[in-house]
């Protein structure tokens, strides 16, 4: 559990953190290789290609081939990081399941441009089911960093996990809430704000909206925990249970379908260990549409103002 965040220090996309992390992982371990499906400029894996051209493989618009090649490289002793857009990674789901996950191969998959925050690209590109898809696979670690610093450190941390993983990264710049001394640990949630009336477990962009929510509610003398769940699987069960016991009011916030994502993961933990009041905030089993991210967050109730009202009403109904 990391320390409390006090201020924001600029903005950077988590895909940039992924690119920086790839380079650091490549420097740290000569067996690291990178693959991309013709989107290396967008996923930032091109930064690895510029540093290690002999260890980069451009597969083209052929995601199934990318996953199959990554599997072969893994069996040859390499540590492959394979990236594309989140929605396109789903084209290779069967291969990910039957080759990567089932055999626990050491392949790290990154899906960029996920969620409603993808904006003008529209619902065909806004993956709102990817966390649920990958979370259901045995052996698969599922990560969504909250800022670029965390993304960079998560990429390097995955070197120590011998098995498959999926990292959800984003195009839009997000506030930097961690400094270079931040210690990232897979599976360990991070308390960003402390409270007493409720706890918000958030991931990705919704970590930032939830921090704003805490400020809004503070003005109304309501204090809430804000917890960054950067690892949806394995999820930090102990932290979830402990904070549920302290508040008895649990909220989850995610830019993802409320079915299958963080909300489902937290509900599973609590239903088996500490049933309590719970509210899931996210995409309510519907697709988005084309528009600016801020406009879409307003329309679909994901911005801080909407979330604050939902949380306030939820607490009042107790």
DSSP string, the chain: --PPP-----EE-HHHHHHHHHHHHHHH-TTEEEEESS-HHHHSTHHHHHH-GGGEEE--S-HHHHHHHHHHHHHTT-EEEEEEEHHHHGGGHHHIIIIIITTT---EEEEESBSGGGGGG-TTT-BSSHHHHHHTSTT-EEE--SSHHHHHHHHHHGGG--S-EEEE--SS-EE----TT----TT--EEEE--SSEEEEE-THHHHHHHHHHHHHHHTT--EEEEE--EEES--HHHHHHHHHHHSEEEEEEEEETTTSHHHHHHHHHHHH---EEEEEEE-S----SS-HHHHHHHTT-SHHHHHHHHHHHHHT-
160, 230: one domain: no
CA angle (199 as vertex; 198, 200 as ends), nearest 5: 125
Whether residue 1 is contained in a domain is answered as no
195, 89: one domain: no
The residue from 175, 200, 222 where one domain ends is: 175
107, 19: one domain: yes
- Would you write out the chain's pLDDT as a tens digit for each of its 318 residues? 343 344 445 899 999 999 999 999 999 999 999 999 999 999 999 999 999 999 999 999 999 999 999 999 999 999 999 999 999 999 999 999 999 999 999 999 999 999 999 999 999 999 999 999 999 999 999 999 999 999 999 999 999 999 999 999 999 999 999 999 999 999 999 999 999 999 999 999 999 999 999 999 999 899 999 999 999 999 999 999 999 999 999 999 999 999 999 999 999 999 999 999 999 999 999 999 999 999 999 999 999 999 999 999 999 986
Whether residue 301 is contained in a domain is answered as yes
Whether residue 3 is contained in a domain is answered as no
28, 167: one domain: yes
- Report the CATH number that the domain containing residue 305 is assigned in CATH: 3.40.50.920
23, 132: one domain: yes
Calpha distance 182→205 (Å, rounded): 19
Catalytic residue among 7, 12, 46, 63: 63
Whether residue 182 is contained in a domain is answered as no
227, 294: one domain: yes
Distances (CA, A) of 92 to 4, 70, 244, 303: 39, 12, 37, 32
146, 225: one domain: no
Residue pair 311/251 in contact (Cβ under 8 Å)? The answer is yes
158, 35: one domain: yes
- Report the CATH number that the domain containing residue 76 is assigned in CATH: 3.40.50.970
Phi-psi region of 170 (alpha: psi -120 to 50; beta: other; left: phi over 0): beta
The residue from 175, 206, 225 where one domain ends is: 175
Q: Which residue has the tokens 């959800």?
A: 168
Q: Confirm whether 272 is a catalytic residue.
A: no
Rounded to the nearest angstrom, the gap between the alpha carbon of residue 36 and the centroid of all alpha carbons in its chain is 19
211, 99: one domain: no
Whether residue 5 is contained in a domain is answered as no
21, 152: one domain: yes
The residue from 175, 198, 220 where one domain ends is: 175
35, 165: one domain: yes
241, 299: one domain: yes
- Expressed as residue numbers, the domain containing 23 is 11-175
Structurally, how many domains does the chain consist of?
2
């Amino acid at each position: 559990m990391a320390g409390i965040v006090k201020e924001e220090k600029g903005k950077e996309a988590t895909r940039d953190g992924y690119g920086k992390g790839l380079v650091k992982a490549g420097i740290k371990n000569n067996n690291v290789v990178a693959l991309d499906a013709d989107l290396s400029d967008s996923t930032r894996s091109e930064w690895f290609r510029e540093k290690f051209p002999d260890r980069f493989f451009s597969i083209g618009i052929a995601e199934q081939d990318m996953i199959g090649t990554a599997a072969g490289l893994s069996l040859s002793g390499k540590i492959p990081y394979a990236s594309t857009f989140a929605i396109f990674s789903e084209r290779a789901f069967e291969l990910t399941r039957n080759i990567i996950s089932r055999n626990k191969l050491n392949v790290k998959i990154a899906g960029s441009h996920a969620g409603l925050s993808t904006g003008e690209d529209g619902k065909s590109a806004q993956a709102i089911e990817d966390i649920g898809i990958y979370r259901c696979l045995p052996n698969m670690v599922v990560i969504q960093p909250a800022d670029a610093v965390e993304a960079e450190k998560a990429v390097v941390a995955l070197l120590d996990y011998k098995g498959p993983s999926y990292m959800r990264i984003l195009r839009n710049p997000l506030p930097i809430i961690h400094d270079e001394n931040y210690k990232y640990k897979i599976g360990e949630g991070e308390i960003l704000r402390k409270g007493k009336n409720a706890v918000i477990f958030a991931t990705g962009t919704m970590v930032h909206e939830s921090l704003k929510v805490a400020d809004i509610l503070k003005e109304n003398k309501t204090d809430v925990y804000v917890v960054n769940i950067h690892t949806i699987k394995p999820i930090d069960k102990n932290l979830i249970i402990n904070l549920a016991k302290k508040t008895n009011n649990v909220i989850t916030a995610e830019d993802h379908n409320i079915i299958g994502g963080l909300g489902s993961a937290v509900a599973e933990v609590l239903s088996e260990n500490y049933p309590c009041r719970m509210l899931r905030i996210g995409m309510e089993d519907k697709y988005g549409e084309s528009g600016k991210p801020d406009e879409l967050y307003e329309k679909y109730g994901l911005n801080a103002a909407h979330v604050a009202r939902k949380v306030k009403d939820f607490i009042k109904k107790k």
